[in-house]
Structure 1
């Protein structure tokens, strides 16, 4: 396989892993990176979704002790059954809406200009959420969430179907606005990512299987490997970061990055494909 193509796969894997669980939109960054690298055909779109599996494996590794403890406690512990049920409930809205509108969204909204606009808008939403008077925290841990809490966070996750919005941003900030502690919102966002991203990747590979061939295996393997390593490092860092920091820096990053994309497009400095 072409070495240049493998390097592009590695770059895209790093971008996916570093951005999947931060409130800055992995899909948006992948669209922009793909536009710059000339890696944005239909096969590339399947690749972008498939390499999310590498990031999910990193989350499973980081959270393995809690996942194993939850699975072991399912037969006899109400909190474990409630957590498993809540993850299923939170997953359903995105699954249903993704099946109904996913193809149309990919066809019409996966462009650099849409991403830049939602980057900026999402940044202002995070600033508003962080600066508003803090509501009383009702839920201190993910095990204490109710099914209604899970449904509301699941509906918030659906906003991330628009590229540039950020799945983790929508679920974490949405959870905090709904009364979850920062830690509980982050933990549930990570747990919810497992069925959401694995399901999206499997469905995309199945629907677009005609575009793939055995010769693509090295390309996907490189992307998955780099996505896994970079996501593992990022998740470990983020869990330490949220203990004493807000998401305001990510908001300003989103706004600045979105403005740079718009400015380079309007000035002609960069010819953003698909814009």
Structure 2
């Protein structure tokens, strides 16, 4: 196996794990990283980008394993556990339905550097607007989220179908805009990522099943492991960060990065 290819896979895994759960768009960063590394020219690149998302989402499952097991175990007799499951179903459905129907169009028309750059800038502006809007926190913990708030977060997640928007950014900022505390919005985004990313990943892998080869397993394994470890570290850091900080730093990063990408595209990448 080509060591250069394995090194590129490690970098791509690091990009996925580091950006999946912060509001900067992992998909956008993977598109850009793949273009700069030349990784997108590899025959399995698209399937690889999807597969390494499993590493990131398993990091959430591992960190919250005790709560997940408890919710599933107590759901028959515990109202809070049943409500959390119901809320996740409600929030999951909008993006699942629209994403399934529009998947081919999104992959064909929107997976490009210009769309990513514009979405990064627009998303950054939206984050600044939400952070500047002083709202009252009505929901302190993830267990207190109402079905109406869950639906609102699910509708906000539709924006993340556009590459560069950020699934975590849309759901976290949507939750904050609806009156969830920063920690509640972030944790609900984490839990919502489990069904959303598993469904999207498994669907994409099923579509690409005939192009998979056992010879490519080392590349996929490296990306998966690096994605899992880096996501684990980022999630732990983010939970501490959001307790006492705003998302303005991420917003400005998105705006600056998006503008740089637009400049690079029209001066370098386009050619």
TM-score, length-scaled by structure 1: 0.95
Secondary structure at the residue paired with 2:102? helix
| Contact 1:10–1:226 under 8 Å retained in 2 | yes
Task: State the distance in 2 between where 1:171 and 1:265 align.
Answer: 29
Residue 69, structure 1, aligned to residue 64, structure 2 = no
Task: State the distance in 2 between where 1:92 and 1:217 align.
Answer: 32
Q: CA deviation at 1:20?
A: 0.1
Task: State the distance in 2 between where 1:239 and 1:169 align.
Answer: 14
CA offsets 1:107-139 (integer angstroms, 9 cap, x no match): 11111111111111111110011012x222221
Q: CA deviation at 1:272?
A: 5.3
Superposition pairs of residues 67-146 of structure 1, within 5 angstroms: 67-132=68-133, 134-146=134-146
Partner of 1:208: 208
Number of residue equivalences: 270
Task: State the distance in 1 between where 2:234 and 2:199 align.
Answer: 22
Partner of 2:244: 244
Secondary structure at the residue paired with 2:44? helix
Task: State the distance in 1 between where 2:95 and 2:189 align.
Answer: 13
Off by >6 Å, runs of 4+ in structure 1:
none
Residue 59, structure 1, aligned to residue 64, structure 2 = no
Secondary structure at the residue paired with 1:220? helix
Q: CA deviation at 1:218?
A: 1.1
Residue 39, structure 1, aligned to residue 39, structure 2 = yes
Task: State the distance in 1 between where 2:267 and 2:185 align.
Answer: 40
| Contact 1:36–1:272 under 8 Å retained in 2 | no
Q: CA deviation at 1:65?
A: 2.1
When the two chains are superposed, the root-mean-square deviation of aligned CA atoms in Å is 1.2
TM-score, length-scaled by structure 2: 0.96
Q: CA deviation at 1:219?
A: 1.2
Q: Which one is further off, 207-216 or 34-43? A: 34-43
Residue 169, structure 1, aligned to residue 169, structure 2 = yes
| Contact 1:141–1:181 under 8 Å retained in 2 | yes
Partner of 2:49: 48
| Contact 1:112–1:272 under 8 Å retained in 2 | no
Superposition pairs of residues 142-221 of structure 1, within 5 angstroms: 142-221=142-221
| Contact 2:135–2:179 under 8 Å retained in 1 | yes
Q: CA deviation at 1:261?
A: 1.0
Q: Closer, same or farther in 2 for the Cα pair 1:211/1:272, shift >3 Å? A: farther
CA offsets 1:136-174 (integer angstroms, 9 cap, x no match): 222111111122211111111111010000000000000
**Unpaired runs of at least 5, structure 2:** none
Task: State the distance in 1 between where 2:26 and 2:264 align.
Answer: 20
Q: CA deviation at 1:69?
A: 2.1
Q: CA deviation at 1:182?
A: 1.0
Partner of 1:265: 265
Q: Which one is further off, 64-73 or 173-182? A: 64-73
**Unpaired runs of at least 5, structure 1:** none
| Contact 2:113–2:265 under 8 Å retained in 1 | no
